[in-house]
């Protein structure tokens, strides 16, 4: 059975329409009159597509009914894939009117400070994977929606110091970004390892549900922990490597320009 959640479809359509309106002529007075970069739009709509894939269709059906490991794939998509795409696709001038409102920029600066931007998302991640809270969310649809919204919000906050589109809330320097990304991957690796190495089934919802693909509940749980542990950590390592090579390229160009 394939799930299609109307509230998810409506939410994604609203986000798509708001973006199209925002980057259109009505809001261009807040930014450049140059033609909007197509790559940015592709990144933003790619992020919306990732959310749609995660929360509708076969992956969501498996996660909701039978496979903890599918649920972990969902969480990685919502926290580590969709948010950086959305930020990469967001023009800074589109956020400027919001950030110019009294108090908003001050609150934003407090939230995107490295310590807060690391602590809050990882606290959200760890809390929602506590067995009691996780099982409660699986049995209460409204709480499950809140779980996903908090993971996506935490992902946006976590990636902001790396991909901030707004000069009012700037990115970290490249060396600080690399240190930040190294630290950011540790809590997720720890949570994944604790789940993968557990000797007992931690989540009764999946222990009592129907099995899929011949996996026992414990094998499914261990697979989910490994998914969070290994691919989750690799995302941060890939991002760290990308930051390093971008920084090295900028330094090389600056040195070449200085010798001319």
How many of the other CB atoms lie within 10 Å of CB of 37? 12
Instruction: Look over the chain and give the mean of its residue pLDDT values, rounded to a whole number.
Output: 90
Retrieve residue 174's tokens. 């490249």
> For 52-81, what is the mean pLDDT?
94
pLDDT in tens, 6-31: 899 999 999 999 998 888 754 454 44
pLDDT in tens, 153-209: 999 999 999 999 998 899 999 999 999 999 999 999 999 999 999 999 999 999 876
Q: In the predicted model, is pLDDT for residue 37 greater than 60?
A: yes
pLDDT for residue 33 = 44
| pTM as predicted | 0.91
pLDDT for residue 26 = 43
33-42, 105-114, 143-152, range with the lowest pLDDT = 33-42
Residue among 52, 56, 54, 61 at smallest CA distance from 75: 54
The angle, 0 to 180 degrees and rounded to 10, between the axes of the packed helices 38-55 and 68-76 is: 160
């Amino acid at each position: 059975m394939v799930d299609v959640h109307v509230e998810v479809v409506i939410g994604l359509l609203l986000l798509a329409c708001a973006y199209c309106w925002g980057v259109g002529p009505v809001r261009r007075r807040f930014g450049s009159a140059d033609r909007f970069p197509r790559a940015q739009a592709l990144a933003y709509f790619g992020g919306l597509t990732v959310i749609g894939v995660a929360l509708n269709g076969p992956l969501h059906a498996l996660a909701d009914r039978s496979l903890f490991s599918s649920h972990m794939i969902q969480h990685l998509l919502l926290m580590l894939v969709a948010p950086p795409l959305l930020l990469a696709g967001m023009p800074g001038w589109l956020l400027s009117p919001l950030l110019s409102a009294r108090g908003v920029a001050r609150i934003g600066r407090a939230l995107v400070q490295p310590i807060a931007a690391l602590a809050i998302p990882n606290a959200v991640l760890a809390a929602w994977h506590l067995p009691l809270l996780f099982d409660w969310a699986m049995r209460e649809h409204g709480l499950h929606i809140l779980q996903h919204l908090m993971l996506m919000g935490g992902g946006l906050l976590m990636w902001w110091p790396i991909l901030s589109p707004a000069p009012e809330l700037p990115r970290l320097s490249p060396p600080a970004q690399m240190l930040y990304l190294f630290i950011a991957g540790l809590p997720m690796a720890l949570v994944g390892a604790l789940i993968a190495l557990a000797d007992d089934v931690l989540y009764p919802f999946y222990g009592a549900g129907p099995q899929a693909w011949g996996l026992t509940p414990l094998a499914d749980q261990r697979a989910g922990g490994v998914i969070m542990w290994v691919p989750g950590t690799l995302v941060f390592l890939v991002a760290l490597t990308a930051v390093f090579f971008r920084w090295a390229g900028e330094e090389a160009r600056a040195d070449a320009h200085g010798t001319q």
